Amino acid sequence: MSGHEEKKPETKTAKYITGGIFLLAILMFIITFHPFGTLLLEDFPEDEVLVAVTLPFEGEMAAFGIEYQRGIELAVNDINEAGGIRGVPVKAVYYDNKGNATLAIEQFKEIHERGIPVVIGAVSSTVTLALAPYAETYEILLISPSATSASLTAYRNYVYRTVSSDIYLGAGIAKIIGEQNKTQNVMVIYLDTNYGKSLKSAFVNEVNASYHDLHIVSVLMVPDSNTVNTTAIIDEMKKTNPNSVLLVINPSQAVSIMQEAEKAGLDPHWFGSDTVTSSQIPEQVGEYAEGLIGFSQARKISDPSYIFDYEEKYGVKLSMRDSIYGYDTLFVISEAIENSGYTSSGIKEALSEIRHVGLTGSIVFDEGGDAYPSYDVMRLQNGIWSDLEWKEILSFETSSSKSH
């Protein structure tokens, strides 16, 4: 005898149990290490993953809406060519809100009824703020590629953005204007919107706290419109004689003011927020706009192939660069869905952990759903928005400075 007891024969039931345990172990191994990520308890779409997008394709901000859409479509192509999200293609469903908050809210209700858990938009802070309470109530993830109002930080549950708050940008603008090492008078013209008020306040607060040689001689609020009372503004400029003028207004308003200032023989240093960094300015103002300094969220593109893909697909030169935020925003969403599923709660959970490196740099969200700040400073040179090297920023004088 061998000293071992004879092994008892295995019953069919025992064999099935053993086999089931074995298959379950294999399945859990595949789920754990397979490229699509973790096990999802909720149903995942079989045909396509829908992401709603609310942007203005008509009205004052249409040029920006079109650029964000172009970036989103390039991201859709790249994601689907790489296999989609968990093997399912992604599709962007577009809503033209025309820059109108009331229309955007009605469309948001339709998105809720369709059961789409995530929305990219809107462009302006005003429209995004109008949607924010509905995002919280409906528990739909709203993520903006452009809205910068500090007020958005109050919506901490389902509202995110891939750009940073005006608080940071306002302080940055004050630093750039204030460190010219000379006393100067500054005029501020801003929109009667959440965005305009937020950025104006951030700028003024930073000037008062840190730059005592900057004298804010005039602060004018203008309506959110495509027109402006240029007569009153030019009269104020003549009275206060500002060395610098900061424009936190719509592109068409900036065009009108600069055209009238040129006619009046006024020639201050012009500065503009991100709403002013539009192709409208060089196209309609012309040579007088040369040297205009623009501030925006970071627009340096980490992957040069994006520029080639953009220009090949759309047949135009990439100039405004806002499209890269649309591109990165959809990639952030797709990564979140890949990791935690196609539900608003899953996407929200994943966003808190995301460390995404995209065209605009590293995207990490703080506890308020805000991206950490990163900005560019640009100058209009030969009719094109060109990035300034940091050594040029404080002098504002380059070989392509104004000739008039």
pLDDT of residue 403: 37
Cβ-Cβ contacts under 8 Å for 286 (sequence gap 6 or more): none
Q: DSSP letter at 294?
A: E
**Domain map (residue ranges) of the chain:** 49-165+301-374, 167-297+377-393
Give me the residues of the chain with pLDDT under 70, please.
1-42, 181, 389-404
pLDDT at residue 279, as a whole number: 86
> What's the predicted TM-score (pTM) here?
0.69
Q: Do domains 49-165+301-374 and 167-297+377-393 have the same CATH topology?
A: yes
Question: Residue 200 and residue 170: Cα distance in Å, rounded?
Answer: 7
pLDDT of residue 264: 97
Amino acid 370: pLDDT: 79
Distance CA 391, CA 92 (A): 41
pLDDT of the residue at 19: 52
Residue 171: cis peptide before it, omega within 30 degrees of 0 = no
Instruction: Name the CATH superfamily, with its identifier, for domain 167-297+377-393.
Output: Response regulator (3.40.50.2300)
Provide the 3-class DSSP secondary structure of residue 341.
Answer: coil
Give residue 402's pLDDT: 42
pLDDT digits (tens, 9 = 90+) for 140-177: 999 999 998 888 889 989 999 998 888 888 888 998 88
State the Cα–Cα distance between residues 319 and 321, nearest whole angstrom.
6
Q: Which residues of 134-160 are buried (b: 16+ CB within 10 A; e: fewer)?
A: bbbebebbbbbbbbbbbbbbebeebbb
> Which CATH number applies to 49-165+301-374: 3.30.210.10, 3.90.550.10, 3.40.50.2300, 3.40.50.970?
3.40.50.2300
Exposed (0-12), middle (13-18) or buried (19+): which is 25, by Cβ within 10 Å?
exposed
Q: Strand runs (DSSP E) across 223-368, as ranges?
A: 244-248, 269-272, 293-297, 356-358, 361-363
